[in-house]
């Protein structure tokens, strides 16, 4: 049976009903983590050796968007880093406002900048696995490919961070599948969605980013922003304004449920 995830606000719905993954179907495999490439990484791939599925008791495979804390909260998430130019600036800005965030990092970027992973965790922020190649069509790929994307990135992040906890997994573009959610949960990572998406990566303008976040917060507390993947000056300036606004409006900073 073919299962296709449907992306919308970080939510995936499978065409099947209940889906049970066996060790074989999960196909949790390793291919050694290569650098991102515009070419389809599934082309010409050799069959890797399978690795066993661990048990992560208590990790929910459903997509998390709600806050751990009650009250008036906001969950900040920053994708596609760590970036040697932008991530330090975002860390300094967050520290200035005593704000916390989840950093959804790409495996190769983590491998290239282990010092930034240390800064992220030491400052009290959390890590999220955002795959190796940032393939927004991975929900249309086989389960073993999804497993490699998730678990090769996890290996890179583990090695770069010295084994610091990775609480979440976020599919690029929200391309979750029932398989990928189960794979992540089996390795201790809660699938992470969002409620608020201002499309800051498109650089629509600082004020537009700010307004979109403010208007969409009625949907829920988890905000999707980016500290990597290009010039993030607009996002940085928008977050600077938003942090001041959050403080003035009485929000407190929380994390999504893990």
Residues labelled as active-site residues: 79, 226
Q: What whole-number distance in Å separates Cα of residue 162 and Cα of residue 32?
A: 17
Classify residue 139 by its DSSP letter: G
Q: Rounded to whole angstroms, what are the CA distances from 142 to 23, 67, 177?
A: 15, 32, 10
Q: Rounded to whole angstroms, what are the CA distances from 7 to 39, 91, 97, 251, 257?
A: 23, 30, 33, 28, 20
Q: What whole-number distance in Å separates Cα of residue 72 and Cα of residue 253?
A: 9
| Closest to 30 (Cα-Cα) out of 45, 46, 49, 55 | 49
Q: Could you tell me the two tokens for 103?
A: 């950093």
Q: Could you tell me the two tokens for 54?
A: 């661990």
| Closest to 83 (Cα-Cα) out of 132, 53, 117 | 117
């Amino acid at each position: 049976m073919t299962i296709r995830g449907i992306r919308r606000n970080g939510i995936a719905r499978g065409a099947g009903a209940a889906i049970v993954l066996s060790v074989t179907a999960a196909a949790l495999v390793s291919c050694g983590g290569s650098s991102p490439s515009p070419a389809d990484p599934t082309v010409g791939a050799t069959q890797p050796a399978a690795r066993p599925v661990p048990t992560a008791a208590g990790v929910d495979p459903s997509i998390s968007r709600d806050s751990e804390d009650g009250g008036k909260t906001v969950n900040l998430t920053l994708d596609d880093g760590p970036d040697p130019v932008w991530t330090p600036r975002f860390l300094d800005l967050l520290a200035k406002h005593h704000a916390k965030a989840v950093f959804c990092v790409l495996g190769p970027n983590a491998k290239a900048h282990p010092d930034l992973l240390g800064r992220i965790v030491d400052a009290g922020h959390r890590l999220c696995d955002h795959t190796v190649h940032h393939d927004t069509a991975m929900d249309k790929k086989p389960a073993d490919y999804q497993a490699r994307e998730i678990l090769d990135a996890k290996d890179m992040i583990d090695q770069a961070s010295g084994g610091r906890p990775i609480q979440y997994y976020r599919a690029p573009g929200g391309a979750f599948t029932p398989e990928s959610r189960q794979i992540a949960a089996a390795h201790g990572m809660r699938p992470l969605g969002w409620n608020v998406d201002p499309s800051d990566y498109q650089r629509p303008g600082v004020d537009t980013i700010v307004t979109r976040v403010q208007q969409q917060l009625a949907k829920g507390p988890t905000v999707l922003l980016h500290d990597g993947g290009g010039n993030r000056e607009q996002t940085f300036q928008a977050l600077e304004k938003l942090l001041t606004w959050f403080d003035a409006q009485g929000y407190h900073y929380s994390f999504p449920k893990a």
